[in-house]
Structure 1
Amino acid sequence: MNTISWEQLTPFFQNVFKIEGVLLILQLLILLFCFLENNFTQKILSVSIVTYAYKMAIDPFVFISYIAMDRGAYENVKFYLAVILLIGLILHCIFLYHWIRKIKRGEYALNTSIKSQSNNSNKKFVLFPIVFAFVIFSFLLIRNIPGSDNIIYLIVAIVLLICLAYAVCEFIFVSYCIFRFPSFAVNPPQKKQQYVNHKNLRKKKKKNKR
């Protein structure tokens, strides 16, 4: 196994590793400074959860790409890796679309019960070709990438990608609610009590009696 130097990396992967370094520094800063329970910290943490969830889904494929470059097989597998990531993005968009539809219909409301699941057949019809494409391109990738250890990495990467494609939807909506609705804040604004003029209230009561 040869070691690839920084100069041997393509400009694209040099930029990828630079972004990885910046995100790592930001993560350390967030861990050091975002420990107070206030609204500003809550907003930063909600955005960072979404950002690092996407990063967690992409990182395994960056690692597989680096191993493939080290073994001289990157040109044979880069197309399949890109297609698998693209399929994961499409799957994520489908999950996000269904989340938005359910929220608009009020299916996540506390006082609402789901009466029917008529859309399950449509979901299966949409998800089946996507899962089938995952299997096909994963099989083609396994055939072109050397080493049995990479097969394990690829299986873990695909499972993680599918799980995060669904889980990130919840993180996005939680972050949206924190920014959009003050009641979701750690310290929600207190409701102002309206001043009641008791003298005027008594005068109105006397007029009504007359």
Structure 2
Amino acid sequence: MAYGGGQKIDNLGQLKAAYDNPGRYKMLFLYGPDESEISYIVKKFLAHIGNNVEHILLNGDQLRSDPALLSDEANAISLFGEKKIIHAEIKRDEAMTAIEYYLQGPAGEHVVLVQSGNLTKANKLRKLVEADKSVLSLIVYEAKSDVLFGRLNGHAKSLGLIVKPDLIRAILARVNMNIHLAMMEMEKLSLYHDASIDNPKKLRNRQSSTLQRIRRMTISPP
């Protein structure tokens, strides 16, 4: 959940709704100032889709060198009728020609998801996707700290870790509130301490410094 102008914006919910209603949009396009939040939303969206969908990952360099690639992949007919998601990760407008070419043609057979970084209002690519009604264009703002805290705490519990609130906040602060990196750190801790749902471990510390508390965690039974 992100916030824009003080109002809650459920970007993930909009992506799920668009996917569950095929044919409504030719492209799902995410951009904004918080790339870690965008990555988190995309990860959750792909989990919603499940493993039965083939995931084709493209990058900006590929689309810049071959502007027809996005359209070709989106319109490729699956031999066995499998659904695909064509997922492009770009930085700014290096894929402008490829996206413009795809949007000018017929709707593809598969879902096209594009994630970008922060695009200004004057950016040509942003203007293109926002003006095209066949594109679900979503701007992703920074998530509030309490939302990030809840996500990381929930992730820790799913890994079998019981973590004190001050440590969760310390981990978030250490990675500059990047939820993607924070979750990776929590996964490392779970692996290191052999924690799981069936074998939960409690993390605690005896250090006063925030960084020391993270680096010198000890384990005790829950």
TM range (shorter): under 0.3
Structure having the higher Rg = 1
Query: Higher helix proportion, which one?
Result: 1
Return the TM-score normalized by structure 1.
0.23
Which structure is higher in RCO with an 8 Å CA cutoff and minimum separation 6? 1
Return the TM-score normalized by structure 2.
0.22
